[in-house]
């Protein structure tokens, strides 16, 4: 339906998450462009929310800084429109159901279509309640991206069977954040996903090193990294895009050595 599949057509995909407006929208734009220039295949843009329940302290902090800086959903749509002048890789929003509701679901999804957003990830939206959003997303050609977690168990096949865009596999229990190791048996979850859909599957939560990214992408179609990038933005502020680019290059280089399915 959308452009998302193109992110997975040239080997394993590296997906970079960036919170919009941390430290400001100009830096966000520069960080996105640096990530894409250095090999990011898909960009996840976080729309800040006051109570981001799936996020660990690093991304929570980015949300607070962005909101304190005066970021609004309208300003983020304007940012996407500006990015789309030269950024051609797929871009998706990651935010919370309340952000979409308060903006107006149809107005929000229509603006996604108009500005060039390919998909929407709502980590607090239960699979059983996706009908509140899915018909509108289908109407405007925006993929509503599903998440599966190690606790999804007997629901994995069902969620995978209806997945669109790509399937976001949460690597481990808890919130986002870097982890020293990921011990979940993800290969068996990916096997179930593969049996039920041809949609690509990418693994996120806890990935921060090239070694972890390669390990995750070896068993799936790509790796998603957020907190490690946000730490660079927090540390370097307006100077962060250069460091984000270097980091993304190191991660993408690791994925180029992955085994293909």
> DSSP string covering the chain, please?
--SGGGGGSSSSEEEEEEETTSS-HHHHHHHHHHHHHTT-SEEEEEPP-S--TT--HHHHHHHHHHHHTT--HHHHHHHHHHHTTT--S-EEEE--HHHHHHH-HHHHHHHHHHHT--EEE-TTS-GGGGGGTHHHHHHHT-EEE-EE-GGGGGGHHHHHHT--S-EEEE-SSSSS---S---S-HHHHHHHHHHH--S-EEEESS--SHHHHHHHHHHSSEEEE-HHHHHHHHHHGGGHHHHHHHHHHHHHHHHTTSPP-
Q: Give a yes or no: residue 99 inside a domain.
A: yes
Please indicate whether residue 201 or residue 57 has the higher confidence score (pLDDT). 201
Q: Is residue 7 over pLDDT 90? A: yes
Q: Give a yes or no: residue 103 inside a domain.
A: yes
Please indicate whether residue 156 or residue 2 has the higher confidence score (pLDDT). 156
Q: Give a yes or no: residue 74 inside a domain.
A: yes
Q: What are phi and psi of 54, to 5 degrees?
A: -90, -5
Please indicate whether residue 1 or residue 217 has the higher confidence score (pLDDT). 217
Q: pLDDT at position 2, please? A: 65
Q: Give a yes or no: residue 260 inside a domain.
A: no
**CB distance 69 to 77 below 8 Å:** no
Q: What is the mean pLDDT of residues 193-203?
A: 96
Domain range for residue 140?
Answer: 4-255
Q: Give a yes or no: residue 115 inside a domain.
A: yes
Closest to 260 in 3D by CA, of 221, 205, 209: 221
Q: How many CA atoms lie within 13 A of 148 on its CB side?
A: 30
CA dihedral 126, 131, 135, 140 (to 10 degrees): -20
Q: What is the mean pLDDT of residues 55-74?
A: 91
Q: pLDDT at position 178, please? A: 44
157: which 2 tokens?
Answer: 């096949």
Q: pLDDT at position 53, please? A: 67
CATH code where residue 10 lies? 3.20.20.70
Q: Is residue 153 over pLDDT 90? A: no
Q: pLDDT at position 77, please? A: 98
Number of domains into which the chain is organized: 1
Q: Give a yes or no: residue 55 inside a domain.
A: yes
For 8-31, write each residue's pLDDT tens digit. 998 999 999 999 999 999 999 999
Q: Give a yes or no: residue 261 inside a domain.
A: no
Q: pLDDT at position 184, please? A: 62
79: which 2 tokens?
Answer: 């940012």
Give the pLDDT band of residue 176 (cuts 50, 70, 90).
very low
Q: Give a yes or no: residue 87 inside a domain.
A: yes
| Average per-residue pLDDT for the chain | 92
Q: Is residue 51 over pLDDT 50? A: yes
pTM beyond 0.85, yes or no: yes
Q: Is residue 202 over pLDDT 50? A: yes
Q: Is residue 174 over pLDDT 60? A: no
Q: pLDDT at position 47, please? A: 97
User: Measured between alpha carbons, how far is residue 70 from residues 20, 25, 49, 162 in Å?
Assistant: 11, 10, 12, 37
Q: Which residue has the tokens 């959003």?
A: 133
**CB distance 195 to 158 below 8 Å:** no
* Distance of alpha carbon 13 from alpha carbon 9, whole angstroms: 8
Q: Is residue 177 over pLDDT 50? A: no
């Amino acid at each position: 339906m959308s452009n998302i599949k193109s992110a997975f057509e040239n080997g394993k995909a590296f997906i970079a998450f960036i919170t919009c407006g941390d430290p400001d929208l100009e830096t966000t734009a520069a960080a996105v462009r640096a990530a894409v220039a250095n090999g990011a295949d898909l960009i996840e843009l976080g729309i800040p929310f006051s109570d981001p329940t799936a996020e660990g302290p690093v991304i929570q902090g980015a949300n607070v800084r962005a909101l304190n800086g005066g970021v609004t959903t309208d300003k983020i749509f304007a940012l996407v429109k500006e990015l789309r002048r030269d950024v051609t890789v797929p871009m998706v929003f990651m935010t919370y159901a309340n952000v979409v509701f308060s903006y107006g679901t149809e107005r929000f999804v229509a603006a996604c279509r108009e500005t060039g957003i390919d998909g929407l990830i709502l980590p607090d939206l239960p699979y059983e309640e996706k009908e509140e959003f899915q018909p509108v997303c289908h109407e405007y050609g925006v993929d509503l991206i599903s998440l599966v977690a190690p606790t999804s168990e007997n629901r994995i096949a069902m969620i995978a069977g209806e997945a669109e865009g790509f399937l976001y596999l949460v690597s481990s229990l808890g919130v986002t954040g870097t982890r020293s190791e990921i011990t979940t048996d993800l290969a068996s979850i990916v096997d179930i996903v593969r049996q039920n859909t041809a949609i690509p599957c990418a693994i996120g939560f806890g990935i921060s090193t090239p070694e972890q990214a390669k390990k995750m992408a070896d068993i799936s179609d790509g790796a998603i990294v957020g907190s490690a990038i946000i730490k660079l933005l927090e540390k370097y502020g307006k100077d962060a895009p250069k460091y984000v680019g270097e980091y993304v290059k190191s991660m993408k280089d690791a994925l180029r050595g992955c085994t293909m399915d």
